[in-house]
Amino acid sequence: MTACSKIEDFASAAMIRLVAAGLLRQGISVPFRPPVGARVSRTAKRELLEAIIAEHGRIAILKIADAARDMPPEPVAQALLKAKSVSDLLDRWRRLEKFSHGRHEVLVENLGEAGFGLHHHARAGHAPPSEAETLLVMGLLTVLTEIVVSAPFELNTEEGRGLRHSGKWREPAAFGPDQRFILSGAPCVSPPAKAPELSRMDIVDTARRHLAADPLRRWTLTDLAAEVGASQRTLQRRLTENATSFSRLIAETRLQTAATHLCGPLAPGLAEIGFLSGYSDQAHFTRSFTRLVGTTPSAYRADFG
């Protein structure tokens, strides 16, 4: 098995568990056992989705995504759902795609008030996704968006054919590999409540807790200061007084998150750990962890896991 095939499996396994839950939710018998581990055959997944369309229509694939609201906590899903906006969610999805090294990816175009243009296409050198694969991804992104913003969203083809409206799916017509979709609805989530004022001693510890609660977020100093209820200048001053900095806090949080996962009794794969810890890709994870710890993530897990 190649390195790429090994690290693409965690996202695929999570998707198959969603498929199983989505079929059960529709009263459709599940012809397989949802995987607990990380090995999933892409060919088997594709054949399963095609069989669902043949027997129950394309809408059954879209309805699978509704199960995302009821499934037991999945680490990857939880990391995605901590997004603060639609743009943040789509950015997290793209970062997940980088780690999964899958054959397909979603190109995102910000259309302003019109929403977001989405195109599920093949990476260079690979065959295009099937209708079923594209519907599954588009359906899931739509439902995840609705969960993040707590409001219904619409999914339409670029030509205006509706797939989702007012929280309900519609049977889509056949489409080709170049089909583009428009995701539109509420522009953003409600602004968070103002953080309470903190004492001098609490600011840095509180900053660490916020970073640890969502290491996947693309934190800025402005964001972190707002979360702890301090000005940027005050936060920087407190960090300096504690012999640290914003960038060091970020690096420490990613490292601690990764180390915790690596030492866990049911540790996920290295790619999933890197994604959940907030690294940009697998190379970034390995390089940063090795530089700070002095050993690779895999060697660290072998020694302490």
**Comparing 106-120, 182-196, 207-221, which segment has the lowest mean pLDDT?**
182-196
Helix/strand/coil for 181: strand
Cα-based torsion angle of the residue sequence 136, 103, 215, 247 in order, rounded to the nearest 10 degrees: -150
pLDDT given for residue 269 in this prediction: 86
pLDDT given for residue 266 in this prediction: 72
Output 267 or 268, whichever has higher pLDDT: 268
What is the rounded average pLDDT for all residues in the chain? Answer: 86
pLDDT digits 0-9 by tens, 169-199: 999 999 999 999 999 996 544 455 555 555 5
What's the N-to-C CA distance of the chain in angstroms? 23
pLDDT given for residue 302 in this prediction: 86
Give the neighbor-by-neighbor strand order of the sheet with 181-185: 104-110, 116-122, 181-185, 153-157, 162-165, 168-169
Cα–Cα distance, 20 to 33 (Å, whole number): 8
State the Rg of the chain over Cα.
21
**Comparing 53-67, 131-145, 229-243, which segment has the lowest mean pLDDT?**
229-243
The three-point CA angle 130-282-85 to 5° equals: 65
pLDDT band at 73 (very low <50, low <70, confident <90, very high): confident
Domains annotated on the chain, with CATH? 3-185 (3.90.1520), 200-304 (1.10.10.60)
pLDDT given for residue 2 in this prediction: 37
> What's the average model confidence in pLDDT over 67-91?
90
pLDDT band at 17 (very low <50, low <70, confident <90, very high): confident
pLDDT given for residue 9 in this prediction: 56
pLDDT band at 247 (very low <50, low <70, confident <90, very high): very high
Whether residue 301 has pLDDT greater than 50: yes
Per the listing, tokens 């940009």 go with 280
Whether residue 8 has pLDDT greater than 70: no
Whether residue 140 has pLDDT greater than 50: yes
